[in-house]
Amino acid sequence: MFKILFAVLLCSQLLPNALAQTFSFGKFSIGESRIQVQLNDFVIQTSSREVLASWVPDSVQWLRNENNLLVPRALLKIIIAKGDPLIHVDYQHTTIIPFKKINQNFETEIYIDLFNPAVVSIFRGDKLLDKIVIEARAVENARSKQLIDYSCAPFDLKIDGIDSEYLSVGCKMNRLGPYFKGYPRLEITMSSTNLRTMNGTKPPYTIYLENNSPVEIKLSGITESIKTLKLEAKLPERLHRLKTSVGFGPYIYQSEFQADKQTANLAPAFMLYAKYDLTETASFKAFDALLYAKSRFNNSGLYFSYDLAEAFDGRVLLNTLIGFQGLHYKYSSKTPTEFRLIYPQGFELIYKHAFIENYHLTYGMFLSTSSEAYTNAWLRYGKSGFLELNYIDWGHERNHIKMWGLSVAFPLFSVF
């Protein structure tokens, strides 16, 4: 049930975007188009009558580049009238030789980063034939065309002062200071078609924020006008490595000992969760689940977790859970306490920003690696606090338990 539900929710959110994209290779990865880019907002300027340039319709792709910035690119078709084999195109330190020959014209298509378009130079031999320059129109509704990436969502980043420009912004949290006393520095990367520094340097630009105080910077527009940008974010005072949560909720509980069987509807269950961050991609995770209704069952575990893979522009994350568990089970006051040390291994599949920014949907599962029957599956939704559907089934010799229910969890404390 958990697998089917998670698959349906995931596909309903991601499949339309996946199908709409054209895959590309190299140091770029396909991103999600959260805003609409109109190609007619990007003006193509040429000076030679021998050169014609135009956008290829429906060719916009969103890419996450080497600076972790989500930017759009589009295909620019270039036609050189009465071309010859001496024609070549220089773009971003790459020489492109037009290969399509239609009548007496030579054609080629190249991808242009719309938020950081470099000049396209066209040569006939060693003679410069033309330069193609791309500029963005200032539009009244550009606010709706300014992309602040999901990576900035946890910090409530706000940018004011460039309402009429296309813009893309990405964020990365840096941990500074001693190992157990880390404090945050937010690394903001920004790119816009028409913005330049005062000495003419083109984007992307990097800005660092280390507290909640707003920062002002000045950039030059394409018409030499000075624009004052105000950036503000909400950062925590400390970056704690150990975070804990507590949860509780009603469960349905079935327990067996030999031929005896007990069933408890809406039995109370209590949970503890802990996560200790080693690095950005590795951590230790621990849990403890206690259920008591006629019989008592306690399940605790310690696991090493590592981010194994990601997909869909980092929105979907797969991590492994490698470790061990301890189980205490007592059917009644008249039966002995059963203790088992077991080694089921598992995984978590996380869909970030599911339906609402900063809310994550997680499906996780432990499976037995021995002849001892054990299954533990959960579906979790939330952020610092969350709701969790959980199912546990364990059996060994004379003992067998089965429990499922809904719990709600809240942050408990954070240290280190």
- Point out the least confidently predicted range of 11-20, 52-61, 343-352, 391-400: 11-20
pLDDT recorded at residue 16: 38
Under DSSP, the state recorded for 344 is: -
pLDDT of residue 8 exceeding 50, the answer is: no
pLDDT recorded at residue 173: 92
- pLDDT, mean of residues 333-350: 92
- Point out the least confidently predicted range of 18-22, 225-229, 255-259: 18-22
pLDDT recorded at residue 145: 72
Q: How many CB atoms lie within 10 A of CB 75?
A: 17
- pLDDT, mean of residues 284-295: 91
Q: How confident is the model at residue 19 (pLDDT cuts 50, 70, 90)?
A: very low
- Point out the least confidently predicted range of 9-23, 73-87, 106-120, 361-375: 9-23
Q: What are the tens digits of pLDDT across the range 176-208? A: 999 888 999 999 999 888 888 888 888 889 999
pLDDT recorded at residue 9: 44
Q: Quick check: 174 and 184 in contact, CB under 8 A?
A: yes
Q: Where is pLDDT greater, at 152 or 1?
A: 152
Helix (H, G, I), strand (E, B) or coil at 37: coil
Backbone torsions φ then ψ of 178, nearest 5 degrees: -60, 165
pLDDT of residue 84 exceeding 90, the answer is: no
pLDDT of residue 342 exceeding 60, the answer is: yes
pLDDT recorded at residue 362: 97
Q: Mean pLDDT across the chain, nearest whole number?
A: 85
pLDDT recorded at residue 142: 56
Q: How confident is the model at residue 22 (pLDDT cuts 50, 70, 90)?
A: very low
Residue 264 burial class via C-beta count within 10 angstroms: exposed 0-12, middle 13-18, buried 19 and up: middle
Q: Where is pLDDT greater, at 352 or 145?
A: 352
pTM score of the predicted model = 0.78
Task: For residues 309 and 312, give the distance between their C-alpha atoms in angstroms, rounded to a whole number.
Answer: 11
Which tokens go with 397?
A: 């010799």
pLDDT recorded at residue 223: 66
Q: How confident is the model at residue 2 (pLDDT cuts 50, 70, 90)?
A: very low
pLDDT recorded at residue 376: 95
pLDDT of residue 366 exceeding 90, the answer is: yes
Sign of CA dihedral 255, 258, 259, 260: negative
Task: For residues 151 and 361, give the distance between their C-alpha atoms in angstroms, rounded to a whole number.
Answer: 16
Q: What are the tens digits of pLDDT across the range 376-396? A: 999 999 999 999 999 999 998
pLDDT of residue 144 exceeding 80, the answer is: no
pLDDT of residue 397 exceeding 50, the answer is: yes
